[in-house]
């Protein structure tokens, strides 16, 4: 089965702003996942995942740590990824998506992989392998097409398991791919928070 990202890199080579990869790679740092109790900063004017170029690294020593999988969903990636910090851009973007489905973000994580711009095979491996691992752990995956996602290369899914519902969003850049996820709850019901939500 062909990846939804097939032929993506050749399209993005001409479409992506110059210097975007370098700026995106600069924010890959040792970071813990953002939680609901963390107050996200206001999003920049461009509230899209590609605005991550404006975020600042979270690690002072600049040494990036690779993650084998998502601590939140317990799903292993097909290849280790860099955890990304959030300046509010990711949260703002995912909140807009979830608003269309009457849900809100409780916790979030975001990760990135560097990929050579012509390496379609590796891009497929990362995307397809990671999504297959969600299926292996019992997640029911359904692609969604929210109106707030205007980038045709961005792909969003709802991943359900038991009473948990996650938003998964893949956004490709020129020479990297970003994977954002959000643990969700019903927008108007605090009692509907997933069991995995941190307790205070």
- Map out the domains of the chain as residue ranges: 8-187
Q: 81 by DSSP, 3-state: which?
A: strand
pLDDT at position 94 over 50? yes
Over residues 63-82, mean pLDDT: 93
Counts for the chain of helices (H) and strands (E), in that order: 4, 7
| Residue 104 bridge partners (DSSP) | 185
Give per-residue pLDDT as tens, 44-54.
333 445 434 33
Question: In whole angstroms, what is the distance from residue 165 CA to residue 79 CA?
Answer: 24
Specify the pLDDT at position 62: 52
Question: In whole angstroms, what is the distance from residue 9 CA to residue 47 CA?
Answer: 22
pLDDT band at 178 (very low <50, low <70, confident <90, very high): very high
Give the percent of the chain with pLDDT over 70: 62
Say if CB 59 and CB 69 are below 8 A apart. no
pLDDT at position 85 over 70? yes
């Amino acid at each position: 089965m062909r990846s939804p990202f097939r032929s993506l890199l050749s399209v993005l080579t001409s479409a992506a702003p110059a210097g975007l990869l370098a700026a995106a790679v600069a924010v890959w740092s040792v970071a813990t996942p953002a939680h609901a109790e963390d107050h996200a900063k206001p999003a920049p004017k461009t509230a899209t995942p590609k605005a991550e170029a404006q975020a600042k690294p979270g690690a002072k020593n600049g040494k990036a740590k690779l993650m084998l999988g998502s601590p939140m969903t317990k799903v292993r990636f097909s290849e280790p990824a860099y955890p990304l910090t959030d300046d509010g851009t990711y949260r703002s973007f995912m909140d807009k998506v979830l608003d269309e489905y009457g849900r809100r973000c409780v916790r979030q994580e975001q990760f990135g992989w560097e990929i050579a711009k012509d390496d379609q095979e590796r891009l497929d491996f990362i995307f397809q392998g990671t999504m297959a691992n969600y299926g292996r752990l019992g997640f029911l995956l359904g692609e969604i097409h929210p109106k707030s996602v205007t980038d045709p290369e961005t792909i969003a899914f709802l991943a359900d398991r038991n009473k948990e519902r996650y938003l998964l969003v893949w956004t490709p850049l020129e020479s990297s791919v970003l994977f954002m996820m959000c643990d969700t709850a019903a927008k108007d019901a605090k009692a509907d928070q997933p069991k995995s939500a941190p307790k205070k």
